[in-house]
Structure 1
Amino acid sequence: MMRSPNERLQGPAAEPWPENAALYQQLKEDQILLSDNASSLAVQAFLQMCNLPVRVVCRANAEYMSPSGKVPFIHVGNQVVSELGPIVQFVKAKGHSLSDGLDEVQKAEMKAYMELVNNMLLTAELYLQWCDDVTVEEITHPRYGSPYPWPLNRILAYQKQWEIRRKMKAIGWAGKSLEQVLEDVDQCCQALSQRLGTQPYFFNKQPTELDALVFGHLFTILTTQLTTDELSEKVKNYGNLTAFCRRIEQQYFEGHDKDNSGTAAPRSAKRSLLR
């Protein structure tokens, strides 16, 4: 009998994946911010591509439940693992991999592009959330502190803002203008667009963790309501990237409900990309 592409990727040594595997993130409607939503969606996409079902659990204190203080994290059996990189390694140790078919040069290239996404897109999302005054006042503070009573909601938001702004200073982003940050996003999208070209995925016909990471960030940018559309417009300038997001949404999320896959189609404050 023919095996599916995902089954072929997993190989004969793959361990059974528990049915009660769960992914934890903040509250979807009222609390989660752009960067955390993007990171969570990247992990969901990766697990979907591996054909590993996971139930998404939303908790107001998910950030404080995480062993690294970052979301998302997965609870599989008696183990808890947070963030995409460690989750990829954890899943690989269980015999499930998306990138085993790549040669060493391709693997190095894939890692370089993943670093680009994390250094540019993720950092730009954090900058926008915590360093752009209009976004901070209208979106970030109200959402981040929403589960908590006053004055705790403000105290926690200011603590997080201080933490992120200190990080921005350490990496040389504190003095950047919003226009410079948007230009960095555009350069990152240009590099991704050139690498993708007319292929369905970044490495030909099969997805890798790079595809999951790029989808998580670009889809979230395209579908999240911010104070302006400047960030999403940078992505929309690249038709192959928006088509890439639609394709992954359609293939790995549309039609998957919580009864058969554990991961529902991604939702956002705006809309699905599907028309």
Structure 2
Amino acid sequence: SFFPHNLFLQAYAKFSGAPLTVNTISNSWRAPKGDVPVLISDDIVISQPAKYNADYELSAKQGADTLAYIALLEEKLLPALLHTFWVEAENYCSVTRPWFASRIAFPLRLYLPGKMSREALNRILLTRGGPPLCSLTEVEAQIYRDAKECLNLLSKRLGTSQFFFGHTPTTLDAFVFGFLAPIYKVCFPRVQLQEHLKQLPNLCRFCDDILTCYFRLTVSGHSPAGQDTADANLQKLTQLVNKESNLIEKMDDNLRKSPQHPPRKLTTLKLAAGGEQSSPLNRLSP
């Protein structure tokens, strides 16, 4: 998914053990508020799973740190994330728009990606486009500087720990994962932010660990079950090819061992005088 909030909800549900069913729809107007993603429990829209808590072991200070880092992500990293996916022309035309259009029903696929791109640009300009940043180029440069600074702070805070507050994932881990995973995994033509993220190995390892342990995805992005299926299919195909090769070899051996008959001589027709073919009809004629 390209939506940080969507990934946050999925990760939080897995961290807290909340049962979660993902329903994919091609028409966002079918959602209760006309927008996706949305989390529903007992026909009520909620912000996160109720009765399930991934932060019950955190202290008051750690809870305050969680809120502070979430605010930092929203302010510093989100604008660059929106720009990378929805405003950067090459990324939008080659990755984002085709991906969304392929999953949206006609005719909404012709309208919604462009609408979301315009909304992303408007949000960036409204939140970060004030003086002294007058041009879009200056705004872009600033939001990427802020995003890289945010990534550096996250890397320093994580350090060598598995998660941000020890060995147990919490809300902050789910939130950070929701922001970092799309940047880390999506293959873009323009990878300014992705290149900086890959220079921070502890954040990359953080994403890989969550994908492997909680989403059962390998570093390459495939589930072990899917990889096993692919390997099994490849093995069956290899066996089939080997059987066909053995059959062809046996046929060749049989042809070589079979008795060779000399070629038959073609009978020639003798022509009568005058160039006409000698035939019983000619012989019976007076």
Task: State TM-score, norm by structure 1.
Answer: 0.69
Q: Residue 271 of structure 1 aligns to which amino acid in structure 2?
A: G
Does residue 171 of the first structure (1) align with residue 127 of the second (2)? yes
Q: Secondary structure at the match of 1:101?
A: coil
The number of equivalent residue pairs is 218
TM-aligned CA deviation for residue 191 of structure 1? 0.6
Of residues 144, 159, 168, the one that matches 1:197 is 159
Q: Aligned residue for 2:215?
A: 253
Does residue 136 of the first structure (1) align with residue 131 of the second (2)? no
Aligned equivalents of 1:266 and 1:55: distance in 2?
Answer: 22
TM-aligned CA deviation for residue 117 of structure 1? 1.6
Q: Secondary structure at the match of 2:187?
A: coil
Q: Aligned residue for 2:176?
A: 214
Does residue 64 of the first structure (1) align with residue 29 of the second (2)? yes
8 Å contact kept, 1:41–1:266:
no
Percent sequence identity is 28
Q: Which runs of 5+ in 2 are unaligned?
A: 130-134, 225-286
Structure-2 change in CA distance of 1:117 and 1:148 (3 Å): same
Structure-2 change in CA distance of 1:266 and 1:108 (3 Å): farther
Query: Over residues 124-180 of structure 1, what are the superposed CA-to-partner deviations in whole Å (9 max), with x where a residue is unaligned?
Result: 121222322222332333333333446x53333333333222222210247345444
Task: State TM-score, norm by structure 2.
Answer: 0.66
8 Å contact kept, 2:91–2:189:
yes
Does residue 242 of the first structure (1) align with residue 204 of the second (2)? yes
8 Å contact kept, 2:90–2:190:
no
Does residue 107 of the first structure (1) align with residue 63 of the second (2)? yes
8 Å contact kept, 1:223–1:272:
no
Aligned equivalents of 1:184 and 1:64: distance in 2?
Answer: 35
Structure-2 change in CA distance of 1:133 and 1:49 (3 Å): same
Pairs within 5 Å for 1:260-275? 265=217, 271=221
8 Å contact kept, 2:208–2:218:
no
Structure-2 change in CA distance of 1:178 and 1:138 (3 Å): farther
8 Å contact kept, 2:84–2:91:
yes
Structure-2 change in CA distance of 1:100 and 1:157 (3 Å): same
TM-aligned CA deviation for residue 243 of structure 1? 1.3
Does residue 123 of the first structure (1) align with residue 79 of the second (2)? yes
Q: Aligned residue for 1:257?
A: none
Which sits farther off after the overlay, 156-165 or 242-251?
Answer: 156-165
Query: Over residues 245-268 of structure 1, what are the superposed CA-to-partner deviations in whole Å (9 max), with x where a residue is unaligned?
Result: 1222222122xxxxxxxxxx499x
Structure-2 change in CA distance of 1:203 and 1:53 (3 Å): same
Q: Which runs of 5+ in 1 are unaligned?
A: 1-31, 255-264
Give the aligned CA root-mean-square deviation in angstroms.
2.8
Q: Residue 253 of structure 1 aligns to which amino acid in structure 2?
A: F
Q: Secondary structure at the match of 2:23?
A: strand
8 Å contact kept, 2:212–2:218:
no
TM-aligned CA deviation for residue 192 of structure 1? 0.5
Pairs within 5 Å for 1:222-237? 222-237=184-199
Does residue 159 of the first structure (1) align with residue 115 of the second (2)? yes
Structure with the higher fraction of residues in helix conformation: 2
Query: Over residues 210-268 of structure 1, what are the superposed CA-to-partner deviations in whole Å (9 max), with x where a residue is unaligned?
Result: 101111221221111212332221111111111111222222122xxxxxxxxxx499x
TM-aligned CA deviation for residue 67 of structure 1? 4.1
Does residue 80 of the first structure (1) align with residue 45 of the second (2)? yes
Of residues 94, 97, 101, the one that matches 2:53 is 97
Which sits farther off after the overlay, 100-109 or 185-194?
Answer: 100-109
